[in-house]
Homo-oligomer: A and B are copies of this chain.
Amino acid sequence: MNLEDIARFSGVSRSTVSRVINNDPHVSDKTRENVLKIIAEHNYAPNIAARALVTKRTHVIGIYISNVIGDLFSDPYFSTLLQAIVTRANEQDFDVMLWLKGQETSIEHFHQRILDNRMTDGLVLSSTSRYDTLPQALLQRNRTFVLNGRPWCDEEHMNYVDATNQHGAQQAVEHLARMGHKRIATITGRLDLISGYDRLIGYRQAIEHLELPFEDSLVIEGDFTEISGYIGMRKLISEKPDAVFIASDHMAIGALRAIRESGLQVPDDIALVGFDDMSFATMTSPQLTTVRQPVQRQGILATEGLIGLLEGSITPPYQVSLPTQLVIRESCGFPA
């Protein structure tokens, strides 16, 4: 069943059917109606490949997530992001192709797969490592893409949607200081991801600004996983910090567990602030004080930006930075 068949059945030419399908106004109402009826009767849908061959557009965007650690992205951050992207793309009549890079996949092979795949009009890249060469390779080949998180380099030319991670981290640390905490430690995220890096920078800036003691032993490197939060906190306990800024809620869950196991109390013995404001942050006891970042909004804006770029309604660079917001709950302590 193709255009020609539909044309024959409805007694018009291939061109007219094409016009009807593409909503071209140059068709009489009578003809349009008739053709639409025939199309519906036969469940006809145009052959996407043939269309793509001539238009050089597929109406498909790709999502590349490279941070997939361990048993997969158990961190609901990615689920939320993914859902936002897929939903928004569908609303704008785009379909979505998905690539997940696990640890085991060979990166060259994987990149080649994405670079060679010409089935997508554009890409959203999420949580690209500082060492990931994909953005550069795509740039070099003139492919349209939007980064989730600001780029490590070439900032002026890249399209991205970011959150104010530095500022969020600062707010968190400042709030802990305001609550009377002096010895404030941090468990970082992956430092090869811009979000992890920026949150550490924010921590440092706040410490410096507040003229609090900065000690290397108060900075523990995590990798955003729950288990790394647990391990990080176990290391940290012997350092006896008053408070800890943890670069993700997911890690904060692990940290809470470590604290509970050691018999200490949150926030009395150790105060905690997380980052992300994931849905489970209100389900812990005590409830988690955290820095909210608009994950869903990031996904939506990345998608809208990409599609706008593709359709020419947005001229590059498309650069967005979304605000973060401190959400005060119980884990940070109460004013004395």
Interface residues of A in 39-54 (CB under 8 A from B): 43, 45, 47-50, 52-53
Note all chain B residues with C-beta closer than 8 A to A58. Answer: 49, 119
Copies of this protein chain in the complex: 2
Interface residues of A in 277-327 (CB under 8 A from B): 279-280, 283, 285
CB atoms of A96 and B95 under 8 A apart:
no
Other-chain contact of A83, B43, B84, B102 (Cβ < 8 Å): B102
CB atoms of A95 and B119 under 8 A apart:
yes
Closest to A76 in B: B74
CB atoms of B119 and A71 under 8 A apart:
no
Which residues of A come within 8 Å of B, CB atoms? 43, 45, 47-50, 52-53, 58, 60, 63, 68, 71-74, 76, 78-80, 82-84, 86-87, 90, 95-100, 102, 105, 110, 113, 115-119, 141, 226, 253-254, 257, 260, 279-280, 283, 285
Other-chain contact of A45, B49, B115, B280 (Cβ < 8 Å): B115
CB atoms of A49 and B60 under 8 A apart:
no
CB atoms of B105 and A87 under 8 A apart:
yes
Note all chain B residues with C-beta closer than 8 A to A226. Answer: 280, 283
Known: A48-B118, A257-B283. A98 touches B100 (CB 8 A): no
- A-B contact list, 28 entries, CB within 8 Å: A43-B115, A43-B141, A45-B116, A47-B53, A49-B49, A49-B58, A53-B53, A63-B98, A72-B76, A72-B84, A74-B79, A74-B280, A76-B76, A79-B79, A86-B99, A86-B100, A87-B102, A87-B105, A90-B99, A95-B97, A95-B113, A95-B117, A96-B97, A98-B98, A119-B119, A226-B280, A257-B283, A260-B285
What is the CA–CA distance of A300 and B47 in the complex, to the nearest angstrom?
Answer: 29
CB atoms of A119 and B60 under 8 A apart:
yes
Known: A76-B74, A98-B86. A50 touches B53 (CB 8 A): yes
Closest to A72 in B: B83
CB atoms of B48 and A117 under 8 A apart:
yes
Which of A49, A102, A118, A280 lies at the interface centre, i.e. has the most chain B CB atoms within 10 A of its CB?
A49
The 8 closest A-B pairs by CB, nearest first: A49-B52, A72-B83, A45-B116, A49-B53, A49-B49, A98-B98, A86-B100, A48-B119
What is the CA–CA distance of A48 and B90 in the complex, to the nearest angstrom?
Answer: 22
Closest to A53 in B: B49
